[in-house]
Amino acid sequence: MTCAACAARIERILSKNNNVLDSSVSFPLKLATIDIAENSNFQLEEVIESVNKIGYKAREAQEENEDKKIKFNLYVPILSILLAASLKYFFQSGYDLIAYTLGFFIILFLGRNFHISAIKKLRHLDFNMDTLISLGSLSSLIISIIPVELITSTSLSINENKMFLDTGAFIISFLLIGKAVEDRVIEESVKTSESIKSRMPKTLIVLRNNKKIDIPIKEIQKEDLFDVKAGEIIPVDGIVVEGKSTVDESLLTGEALPIRKDVGEEVVGGSVNLEGLLKIEVVESYQQSTYNLIEDLIRNAQATKPKIQKSLDRITQLFVPLVLFISFSTFIYNFIFQGAEVLDALRNTIAVLVIACPCALGLATPIVLFKTATVSKTRGFLFKNFDILQRFGDINNMVFDKTGTLSSGIFKITKIENSYQDITEENLLQLVSSLENYSQHPIAKSIVYEAELRDLELLPASNVKETSGVGIEGFVAEKMIVITKNQNSNLPSLRIMIDEKKFILNLEEESAIDLNFLEKLGKEKNITILSGDKEDNVRRFAEKHGITEYYSNKDPEEKLQFIKDKQNNGGVIFIGDGINDSPAIKQADVGVTTSSSSQIAQVSGDILIYKGGLETLNEVFDLSKESKSRINQNLFLAFIYNTLMIPLAVIGLITPNLAALAMALSSISVVLNSSRKL
């Protein structure tokens, strides 16, 4: 593929296959992503053949090393421009044979891909950028070898028509330079996003059924055991069963600080072991590991085609035939109506052919999309669709779930009411946590967590009975313990009876955000808290964070209906935990989920925040605005170029040589602007 029009053409061919539900072709990545129907008779060979028939070379995607090819592509345009610059000298020195040999080599050999592509398109009455380049360069070559007497009767310099060879050579040379810069910039972006993959081991020695076997990494199974030495990448998600170390997750999440890992703790695929030897048990297959899931989300985002790109594809499809018409009209206008010499009219016609190529227009969006998807990972979030990311900054209504999203779901003990001297606070907490260890309630887990922080030993319990919505009771250290909600308090509070003695534990749910986060956000957006929690808890939380609109006691169905009603007044962004709030997240115009990296496979939503908490929303807003602004800049560069240059070429103020240089510079300016740091 040489331009965005090629990608659009391939998409149309793929969509004609009855087994293909959807397809997206990325011009920068030179990659097609296909969704196929279940239980279909899909044949990959058939799809590849259909693409090859229209003049492209398609094959199944696979990993390969492109370094040598890239180096060669940089040498070719340098050689081409040096040879093209020498043609004038050879003509003026009388070495016509050498000049023609070099000119033919540049136009026909170095520029062969343009001509081959144009011919294949012509067979199907299809046109693209290559059509214009091929016509412009070959026309220059043909004019240079036709005797002057056959072109015009006017006395001309002996070398005037020969110098058209110089024009054709410069057209090819400048375009080769532009393509080389494009490919280089894109390749550097790819190398950045593939930095982990290149270091991943291809095989791994695992312990399976008490036998050590060397297997491809893609064949790793759950419960396999493997060793990771210091400095090696952990290839899949697992649990440390032996050893202690620190790991670096910066390649995966951008987190700069090393993280301590002990026996029993989870490690994430794609992180680097920094210290000693770790023995790890596999908990997920290679395909379902965190690294692969993140990379899949990024690749899918990069492969999506935004609405603006689809519109530009339609424009470029119409643009080339329009340019051919304008070029023909330019020749008629200059030669017949203006009485210009044939060579001058031809020169203007070729200039229009070359300068009107919509190359820059086709590059305005794809590279920004690719770079945005890569950058989002380092900022702690992933998006599934570029259009949604672009729309994110334009929506004013933001609805937050509370528990597990704005609040952490972890309760801390603020005060223990104990009027007995024979039971210390530590003893009380040990007895209570020993019983609560048998419950799955968030408050119970928080109390157990507090006991673990204080290094309190959990004692066995007997005759444990838990009543949902009421409490839990049982015997610990031969003491009868009953834990229920404190009905005399509107705050989270527990009433504890140990034998005949009563104690009160006052609790407070920890916030997952800074105190002024919602208040600051509320100055730009309309903030609503939508929670299934009790009204007192939601009200206290909302007042504490300066939010006036809040709703409580909402089940998933009521949340879904609330979002539907809210959408009657405009777009809605819903931020939830991604599991319990799935219906509301899917209904919202943009669904944002928060999740730890180990839960990525289990959540839904359009944007996934997996690092940095809800403060990462600021990064989402920033990247949304930055990428949108970058695309608008690119479109301005592309449109202003065509708008200004085509009229100048029509009236003869731009030579074909300058037209080729200007077109190359236009594409390069768009590529370089796209590659700037977001």
Mean pLDDT across the stretch 445-468? 89
Instruction: Write out the E strands in 499-598.
Output: 501-511, 526-530, 550-551, 572-576, 590-594
- The answer to whether residues 334 and 340 touch, using CB atoms and an 8 Å cutoff, is yes
Neighbours of 335 (CB within 10 A): 17
Q: Which of 290, 388, 464, 417 is nearest to 628 (CA)?
A: 388
Give the three-class secondary structure for 76: helix
Confidence of residue 669 (pLDDT cuts 50, 70, 90): confident
User: b/e string for 194-203 if b means 16 or more Cβ within 10 A?
Assistant: eebeeebeee
Res. 152: pLDDT tops 70: no
Does residue 194 register a pLDDT over 60?
Answer: no
| pLDDT number for residue 153 | 47
How far apart are alpha carbons 649 and 136 in whole angstroms? 13
Task: Decide: 323 and 132 in contact? Cβ < 8 Å.
Answer: yes
User: In terms of C-beta density within 10 A (0-12 exposed, 13-18 middle, 19 or more buried), how is residue 455 classed?
Assistant: exposed
Average pLDDT over residues 559-567: 92
The per-residue pLDDT for 27 is 65
Model pLDDT for residues 7-55, shown as the tens digit of each residue: 767 877 888 888 887 777 766 667 787 877 766 777 888 888 888 877 7
Cα-Cα-Cα-Cα torsion 136, 141, 144, 150, nearest 10 degrees, comes to -80
The encoded tokens of residue 670 equal: 């768009």
CB 117 within 8 A of CB 320: no
Task: Collapse the DSSP code of 659 into the 3-class scheme (helix H, G, I; strand E, B; otherwise coil) and give the result.
Answer: helix
Q: Write out the H or E segment, with its range, that includes residue 495.
A: strand 493-498
> Exposed e or buried b for every residue in 590-601, given b needs 16+ CB within 10 A?
bbbbbbebebbe
The pLDDT score that the predictor gives to residue 4 is 59
> In the predicted model, is pLDDT for residue 671 greater than 60?
yes
Positive or negative, the CA dihedral 516, 521, 523, 528 is negative
What band does 300 get if pLDDT is binned at 50, 70 and 90?
low
What six digits make up the tokens of 106? 């540049």
Q: Cβ-count burial of 635 within 10 angstroms (0-12 exposed, 13-18 middle, 19+ buried)?
A: middle
C-alpha torsion 359→362→368→369, nearest 10: -150
User: For the chain, first and last CA: distance in Å?
Assistant: 26
Neighbours of 627 (CB within 10 A): 25
Span 314-325, pLDDT tens digits = 776 777 788 888
- Residue 521 predicted with pLDDT over 70: yes
Output DSSP code: residue 600. Answer: G
DSSP 129: H
Yes or no: domain 408-511 corresponds to CATH 3.40.1110.10: yes
Quote the CA–CA distance of 367 and 630 in Å, as a whole number. Answer: 10
**CB-CB contact of 627 with 389 (8 Å):** yes
Assess contact for 409 and 420: CB atoms under 8 A: no
CA distances from 110 to 77, 97, 128 (A): 9, 19, 19
CA dist., res. 555 & res. 532, Å (int): 6
CA nearest neighbour of 390 among 311, 314, 308, 310: 308
Domain map (residue ranges) of the chain: 4-62, 78-192+302-362+647-675, 203-290, 369-406+513-624, 408-511
Q: Supply the pTM of this predicted model.
A: 0.65
Which pLDDT value is given to residue 534? 78
CATH 3.30.750.24 fits domain 203-290:
no
Of 617, 137, 640, whose CA–CA distance to 389 is shortest?
Answer: 617
Predicted pLDDT at 66: 45
Which strands, in side-by-side order, build the sheet including 397-400? Answer: 381-383, 607-609, 590-594, 572-576, 397-400, 526-530, 550-551
The answer to whether residue 156 scores a pLDDT higher than 50 is no
pLDDT in tens, 57-94: 888 876 544 444 444 467 888 899 899 889 988 988 88
Average pLDDT over residues 282-291: 80
**What is the third-level CATH fold of 4-62?**
Alpha-Beta Plaits (3.30.70)
Two structure tokens written together for 64: 């390969």
Give the Cα separation of 472 and 665 in Å (integer): 74
For 26, the token pair is: 């990325």
Tens of pLDDT along 350-406? 888 878 776 777 677 777 877 887 788 778 888 877 888 888 888 999 999 887 788
Among 76-85, 98-107, 410-419, 666-675, the range with the most confident prediction by mean pLDDT is 98-107
Between CA 380 and CA 392 the distance in angstroms is 16
- Using the predicted structure, report yes or no on whether residue 266 has a pLDDT greater than 80: yes
CATH annotation of 369-406+513-624? 3.40.50.1000
Q: What is the mean pLDDT of the chain?
A: 81
> Residue 83's pLDDT is what?
92
CA dist., res. 447 & res. 451, Å (int): 6
More confident residue, 604 or 469: 469
pLDDT at position 159 over 60:
no
- Please, are residues 617 and 604 in contact by the beta-carbon 8 Å criterion? no
Contact 436, 444 (CB under 8 A): yes
* HSE-up (13 A, CA, CB side) for residue 467: 8
Measured between alpha carbons, how far is 70 from 83 in angstroms, rounded to an integer?
Answer: 21
